[in-house]
Amino acid sequence: MASNSSSDRQRIAQQRLRIIAGHLRAPVDSDSTILAAECKAQGSKTDVSSERKTVPRRRQEILKWNGWGYSDTRFLFNKKGQAEFTGKRYRLSGMIIPALQNWFEGTFGASVQHKSPAMPILTSSAVQPPTLNEAFVDELKSTGIPCSHDAEDRVFRGHGHCLHEVFALREGKVGRVPDIVVWPNCHNDVVKIVELACKHNVCLIPYGGGTSVSSALECPPEETRCIVSLDTSQMNRILWIDEKNLTAHVEAGIVGQELERLLNESGYCTGHEPDSMEFSSLGGWVATRASGMKKNIYGNIEDLVVHVKMVTPQGVIEKGCQCPRMSTGPDIHHFIMGSEGTLGVVTEVTMKIRPMPEYQKYGSVVFPNFEQGVACLREVAKQRCAPASIRLMDNEQFKFGHALKPQVSSIFTSFLDGLKKFYITKFKGFDPDRLCVATLLFEGDREKVLQHEKQVYDIAAKFGGLAAGEDNGQRGYMLTFVIAYLRDLGMDYYVIGESFETSVPWDRVLDICRNVKARIIQECKDKGVQFSPLSTCRVTQTYDAGACVYFYFAFNYRGLSDPVHVYEQVEHAAREEILANGGSLSHHHGVGKLRKEWMRETISDVGMGMLKSVKNYVDPKNIFGNRNLI
Amino acid sequence: DISFKKIIETGSSVLLLFLSDPMLKKRDDFEDILEERRNSSDLKYALRCYTPVLYKGVTPCTSSMLKSMVLQSDQLHYVINQVSKETGKATDDIKEEASAILEEMAQCLQLSTVRFFAFTLSKAFKTLFRSICVNEDGIQRLQQAIQEHPVVLLPSHRSYMDFLLMSYILYTYDVALPVIAAGMDFMGMKFVGEMLRMSGAFFIRRSFGGDKLYWALFSEYVKTMLKNGFAPVEFFLEGTRSRTSKSLTPKLGLLNIVMDPFLKGEVFDVNVVPVSISYERVLEETLYARELLGIPKPKESTSGLFKARKILSEDYGSIHVYFGQPVSVRSLAQGKVNRCQFNLVPRHIPRRPSEDIASFVNDSAYRLVRAQEENMVLKPWVLVASLLLQYHHQNQAAGQKRGIALGELTAQAVWLRDLSRQYGAFLHWPGTVVTQVFTIILLALCVLTICEDKELLSQAVILLSCASYRNQALHVFVRPALLALAIHTEVFNSFSFLRNMFSNEFILCPGATVQDFEEACYLLVKTGALQFTQQEVLVTERGHRTLAFLSTMLDPFLQGYQVVCRFLCEEATETLTEKQFIPAVRKFIKKLLLAGRLRYMEVLSSDLQKNSLAALLRLGAVRKMKG
């Protein structure tokens, strides 16, 4: 736990004051003082104490068992047909979203009259009784580590959030799920569990936040051994903070928002904010090579990790020091990062930390078209002046974002909106069906942020970009956290969809965006989808040599007998198109089982051999048998 | 080894499913576009409002913007630097050179010129032709395709008229006008060259083998127009006008260029539209025959064009233009090309096409030429010419000089009409048989007056003209005819040998021997000419006639190739330059003809001689030496 000395407290208090002062100096006419943290869900007021665990053992108590996120939070169309976002956790919570219904019905050809509701509760008869390895269970119980073979607990850990997984749950269909769930409390518990698993030859599948979108958590149906889901959620402490070196040593089960909250209490942050950070865990990030929204300042997970401890069937792997860089052969961290649970369980991680930023500011820029927008991002990357986050949405997403504007309370705001729209489309001559928007997030010293902001807006202006206000920017980032809830709403009305990502060299960004979107539309048509799909993309990260591109794709499946199969065929074709256009198999979602078939062409035969030989040495009995990656 | 039983068992059932039965081939109806021209003002037509639908992703740009896009492209920068390093010339000089080349090459499409052509061509077409028939459904498909993807138009090439005609038709139907790759020889025609440029032609040198800069400019120019949806790109897959009315072996250069943007992912897809233009009589008819016989072709010149005005007083019948189904390059490439091969080298660095791409482009080219052939409209005269030629040669062999009774010819023509229909030919046969045959004979009298007292070359001109009509039907019969030639020997092996031998002569897709064989078997069995029993092939009673007709059709080619071989064995000294070959072989053949040791005058055709030499070269019977 963080040190509690009085000098520390004093320092923290001072830092707090600085931050608050930063907020106060913000221009009065904007909500620039709102921190990015406000976009994501907040624990309720009583929840602030650091003793309280964010993720209980029985996750189903606060989280949906067959959809995304918190049970109390969802989109719905009310009796008037207006969209509403329930709960109290998010900025959008409790608000009416008047334009959503029109957008939804218009985009998908769906109707709020045609519902496709999910099965409300899990019938335990749908779950196969557990295959228990009695000897293992007996020994496990004798260690006192909590475990359960309750159907709900097992089902919850048998899936990630791929469309086919959630779709099946909504229909009440459950396939192979883990037979037991164990909740180790610390590194040593994990060592014991792995030892027992080896001794009794049971299959272990590590489970962190459960936000996988690569079928990584699916139990291989051919697995005949007892499958144990190792839920790391109770290993969620910050063990120490080293302010001299700016590192924190943290248990790997901690979820993103908890990690940030606890570090913030001491005036620090990691700055690692993947879109899933409310639920995803530190160990999961390491195991998938995660990437965060603000990587431009803080780096991706591989840049943030200083030291990792992983328990494997061969024992514990870790480095002997906490040095910033070493020339000691291939970096063993790179066997661990991206190993997707096939080699062992990440138990503890030393991560870089940074003092919390004094000042944050959102922003947005409207471009006349996507081409100009990409050219601007490329220039920003070239000049290496990317803000903490810079994202470019295409026209469809821009429209989507607009549909998610909550009801405006004052006539003045709506008048202003109208004026803005008039200025951009009529006065500046932007075609509303072509324009696109970049959202920005600046972070750091107030002075530097303002300077930085000017630099970026100046570049944008060269590409025809017009500053479009902080509000648009902030709404863009808010969407990140609610979009997953929107998928559940779609599924209530015959609309299914998913997002997937890639990374690609700069010279191919436009081509890949155009071709993959067109491929999706063509495949939907060829596969008999009756309505034109939503096929849209955004550039979410910039690098020196390329960018990360996200695709969103959804369609109305009325009239299809096997919508999930059609969906999978289209996604498969889209991935083929990505690869044919020079894109990567994955930028940060990982491979899992969903994208395994393309690994060989991605890393070559020899590369596969290398990975396999590591697996064979570390885990010859395939104890970590989730069969991801290779 | 192919077992016949298998072919019949699997063949007739499977083929029926996969090879759509030619009889069932659905083709569009035609509409005569000259009819309206005859009934309303040409001036009004030339000045009417022209608002074609454009490509949805079009970036509006002018001809000069296009040029600067090309000059500023990464591709060109790369090549300029490369050339500069190799030659030591300053990059600025090379840039200037590039700009001059582009100036010489580029089109500058202007609506006013198009209108001028619309007016004058209306006048000319109405005097020259009875009708210009176009399938409107095809135009509609094209219009749709233009909106969705960059489009490449691939018309067959039989006449200089072809590209004027294409633009004329597209203007008539309010479809986007194409930019057309034209040979540099047109530019020699002072005024006309510029007129053509303003109606969308861009000019390419006939050969620029090693010139990197020229190649880069040319390919980048074409790709830029295509990618931006500036206009449909039109070129002739056959490279040059076919002098024989047979389709020519496709040239791959331009096809490579237009497929490249798709393969490199610069566009989602490219649609290729084969267009079949069938003339009842091409303007260049006798010119071609003379050229093939070695009477040199007049250089294209403006004054030559005016002399050609006397053409205007003749009747050239009707033209049929069939716009085929747009072919998606994406679907053609599906499973044949691994597009990931462009991932590891920047796409603007020119590279020789990989093996899979080379063979993909080659296969596609053949498929597209076949698609052109398939929709070529055959006029009755084509069939009658085929029959008359066979009669002529038979009579000659028998030493007889008599003609053929009209009644007999009519009966033969009906038989052949039905046969070719069954083989999937696209026949245009209006009216009753008798009236057709009769009018043909009248028409033909002026063309076909073969009498013995004329000198050899004049006779040959007439025979070659006649053969060029027969050639229009060859694509319908060539596969069964090869089978007919092979039937009395080891069938598949002989078929395969002959097919290989003739693959410079006819459009036979590379690597499709088995398919062609199956198709030939299928057609002959379906029409009752062949029967397959357990182990053997039987020619049926009525099959003899069909097989005789088919093998006689290919006989001139077979003899021709034999003569060339004989020439090479008997007469050719150790080495022979390419230049010497044609005159020498021609002399040799003349001697044989005069001595009465060779029947077929069409063997005098330089086309056949060149093709046979190319085939022998390909088969390794002769060798090319550098020197």
* Distance of residue B176 Cα from the nearest chain A Cα, in angstroms: 23
Structure tokens at B11: 């063949």
* Distance of residue A518 Cα from the nearest chain B Cα, in angstroms: 7
pLDDT tens track for B582-624: 999 999 999 999 888 888 988 999 999 999 999 999 999 888 8
Chain B residues within an 8 Å CB radius of A515: 265, 268
Count of other CB atoms within 10 angstroms of residue A27: 10
pLDDT tens track for B374-405: 999 998 888 888 888 888 888 777 776 666 77
ipTM for the whole complex:
0.87
Residue A89 three-state SS: coil
Nearest CA in chain B to A519: B268
Structure tokens at B453: 């007292």
* Distance of residue B109 Cα from the nearest chain A Cα, in angstroms: 27
Is A290 known to sit in a ligand binding site? yes
| Residue contact A512–B347, C-beta within 8 A | no
The mean-pLDDT minimum among A71-80, A133-142, A233-242, B431-440 falls in B431-440
Of A112, A109, A114, give the one whose Cα is nearest residue A531.
Answer: A109
Instruction: Identify whether the C-beta of residue A34 lies closer than 8 Å to the C-beta of residue A90.
Output: no
Parallel, antiparallel, or unpaired: how do β-strands A315-317 and A354-355 relate? unpaired
CB neighbour burial string for A403-432, b if at least 16 within 10 angstroms, e if fewer: bbbbeeeeeeeeeeeeebeeebeeeeebee
| Residue contact B347–A601, C-beta within 8 A | no
| Residue contact B340–A511, C-beta within 8 A | no
Q: What is the DSSP code (8-state) at residue B300?
A: P
Burial of B27 (0-12, 13-18, 19+ CB in 10 A): middle
pLDDT tier, A425 (very low <50, low <70, confident <90, very high otherwise) = confident
Size of interface A-B (CB pairs under 8 A): 25
Provide residues of B within 8 Å CB-CB of chain A: 265-266, 268-269, 338-340, 342-343, 346-347
Count of other CB atoms within 10 angstroms of residue A113: 9
| Residue contact A515–B265, C-beta within 8 A | yes
pLDDT tier, A603 (very low <50, low <70, confident <90, very high otherwise) = very high
| Residue contact A518–B266, C-beta within 8 A | no
For residue B350, the Cα-to-chain-centroid distance in whole angstroms is: 29
Place of tokens 């976009």: A39
pLDDT tens track for A36-56: 444 555 444 333 334 456 789
Parallel, antiparallel, or unpaired: how do β-strands A203-207 and A227-231 relate? parallel
CA terminus-to-terminus distance, chain A:
38
CA distances from B573 to A279, B589, B610 (A): 87, 17, 18
Interface test with chain B among A394, A511, A575, by most B beta carbons within 10 Å: A511
3-state secondary structure B223-249: HHHHHCCCCCEECCCCCCCCCCCCCCC
Chain A residues within an 8 Å CB radius of B338: 580
Chain B residues within an 8 Å CB radius of A514: 268
CA distances from A125 to A131, A154, A169, B191 (A): 15, 13, 14, 88
Nearest CA in chain A to B261: A511
What value does the mean pLDDT of chain B take? 86
Chain A residues within an 8 Å CB radius of B329: none
| Residue contact B342–A512, C-beta within 8 A | no
Parallel, antiparallel, or unpaired: how do β-strands A546-556 and B151-155 relate? unpaired
Count of other CB atoms within 10 angstroms of residue A460: 26
What sign does the dihedral A118-A122-A125-A130 (CA atoms) show?
positive
The greatest distance separating any two alpha carbons of chain A, rounded to the nearest whole angstrom, comes to 76
Which residues of A are catalytically annotated? Answer: 550
Please determine, for residue A30, whether its predicted confidence score (pLDDT) is greater than 50. Answer: no
| Residue contact A515–B339, C-beta within 8 A | no
* Distance of residue A373 Cα from the nearest chain B Cα, in angstroms: 16
Is A211 known to sit in a ligand binding site? yes
The beta-carbon neighbor of B342 closest among A519, A582, A601 is A582
As a whole number of angstroms, the distance between CA A60 and CA A69 comes to 10
As a whole number of angstroms, the distance between CA A56 and CA A59 comes to 5
The greatest distance separating any two alpha carbons of chain B, rounded to the nearest whole angstrom, comes to 77
Can you state the percent helix, strand and coil of chain A, rounding each to 5?
Answer: 40, 20, 40
The reported pLDDT for the residue numbered B301 is 56
- More confident call, B2 vs B160: B160
Please determine, for residue A20, whether its predicted confidence score (pLDDT) is greater than 60. Answer: no
The mean-pLDDT minimum among A494-498, B59-63, B567-571, B591-595 falls in B59-63
pLDDT tens track for A525-567: 999 999 999 999 999 999 999 999 999 999 999 999 999 999 9
pTM: 0.89
Of B566, B378, B403, B559, give the one whose Cα is nearest residue B476.
Answer: B378
Of A564, A398, A490, A433, give the one whose Cα is nearest residue A112.
Answer: A490
Please determine, for residue B28, whether its predicted confidence score (pLDDT) is greater than 90. Answer: no
The mean-pLDDT minimum among A20-34, A213-227, A258-272, B278-292 falls in A20-34
Chain B residues within an 8 Å CB radius of A579: 340
What sign does the dihedral B604-B608-B610-B614 (CA atoms) show?
negative
DSSP E strands, A522-593: 534-542, 546-556
Chain B residues within an 8 Å CB radius of A537: none
Structure tokens at A303: 């840049």
* Distance of residue B325 Cα from the nearest chain A Cα, in angstroms: 18
As a whole number of angstroms, the distance between CA A228 and CA A199 comes to 14
CA distances from A582 to A585, B49, B413 (A): 10, 45, 59
Q: What is the DSSP code (8-state) at residue A533?
A: P
Structure tokens at A540: 């979410």
Is A340 known to sit in a ligand binding site? yes
Is A341 known to sit in a ligand binding site? yes
The beta-carbon neighbor of B343 closest among A514, A519, A582 is A582
Structure tokens at A67: 């959809």
As a whole number of angstroms, the distance between CA A625 and CA B9 comes to 50
pLDDT tier, A516 (very low <50, low <70, confident <90, very high otherwise) = very high
Structure tokens at B67: 């040029």
Chain A residues within an 8 Å CB radius of B347: 507-508
As a whole number of angstroms, the distance between CA B97 and CA B116 comes to 33
The reported pLDDT for the residue numbered B580 is 86
Is A288 known to sit in a ligand binding site? yes
pLDDT tens track for B473-515: 999 999 999 999 998 888 899 999 999 999 999 999 998 999 9
Please determine, for residue A482, whether its predicted confidence score (pLDDT) is greater than 60. Answer: yes
pLDDT tens track for B48-97: 899 898 888 787 788 889 999 999 999 999 999 999 999 999 999 999 99
Interface test with chain A among B343, B344, B345, by most A beta carbons within 10 Å: B343
| Residue contact A601–B340, C-beta within 8 A | yes
The mean-pLDDT minimum among A240-249, A478-487, A494-503, B426-435 falls in B426-435
- Residues contacting B27, CB < 8 A, separation 6+: B135, B322, B375, B426
| Residue contact B339–A518, C-beta within 8 A | no
The reported pLDDT for the residue numbered B392 is 81
Structure tokens at A474: 């902030």
Q: Residue type for B447, please?
A: V
Nearest CA in chain B to A573: B334
| Residue contact A515–B347, C-beta within 8 A | no
Nearest CA in chain A to B148: A518
As a whole number of angstroms, the distance between CA B178 and CA B422 comes to 36
The vertex-B160 CA angle with B159 and B162, nearest 5°, equals 70
As a whole number of angstroms, the distance between CA B270 and CA B258 comes to 8
As a whole number of angstroms, the distance between CA A405 and CA A382 comes to 33
Chain A residues within an 8 Å CB radius of B343: 582
pLDDT tier, B193 (very low <50, low <70, confident <90, very high otherwise) = confident
Residue B276 three-state SS: strand
| Residue contact A582–B265, C-beta within 8 A | yes
| Residue contact A507–B266, C-beta within 8 A | no
pLDDT tier, A34 (very low <50, low <70, confident <90, very high otherwise) = very low
Please determine, for residue B9, whether its predicted confidence score (pLDDT) is greater than 70. Answer: no
| Residue contact B268–A582, C-beta within 8 A | no
CA distances from A500 to A534, A573, A584 (A): 14, 12, 11
Residue B321 three-state SS: strand
Side-chain half-sphere CA neighbours of A598 within 13 A: 21
Mean predicted confidence (pLDDT) in A326-354 = 97
* Distance of residue B331 Cα from the nearest chain A Cα, in angstroms: 12
Q: What is the DSSP code (8-state) at residue A119?
A: P
Mean predicted confidence (pLDDT) in B194-211 = 86
Structure tokens at B114: 């198009």
Nearest CA in chain A to B339: A580
| Residue contact A511–B343, C-beta within 8 A | no
Burial of B17 (0-12, 13-18, 19+ CB in 10 A): exposed
DSSP output for A239-307: EEEETTTTEEEEETT-BHHHHHHHHHHTTEE-----TTTTT-BHHHHHHHT---TTHHHH--HHHHEEE
- Residues contacting A219, CB < 8 A, separation 6+: A158, A175, A176, A177, A178, A205, A227, A626
Instruction: Identify whether the C-beta of residue B273 lies closer than 8 Å to the C-beta of residue B142.
Output: yes
Is A16 known to sit in a ligand binding site? no
* Distance of residue B358 Cα from the nearest chain A Cα, in angstroms: 18
CB neighbour burial string for B361-388, b if at least 16 within 10 angstroms, e if fewer: bbbbbbbbbbbbbbbbbbbbbbbbbbbb
As a whole number of angstroms, the distance between CA A367 and CA A373 comes to 6
Instruction: Identify whether the C-beta of residue B151 lies closer than 8 Å to the C-beta of residue B271.
Output: yes
The reported pLDDT for the residue numbered B338 is 94
Provide residues of A within 8 Å CB-CB of chain B: 507-508, 511-512, 514-515, 518-519, 579-582, 601
Is A7 known to sit in a ligand binding site? no
pLDDT tier, B435 (very low <50, low <70, confident <90, very high otherwise) = low
Instruction: Identify whether the C-beta of residue B170 lies closer than 8 Å to the C-beta of residue B179.
Output: no
As a whole number of angstroms, the distance between CA A95 and CA A77 comes to 12
The reported pLDDT for the residue numbered B4 is 43
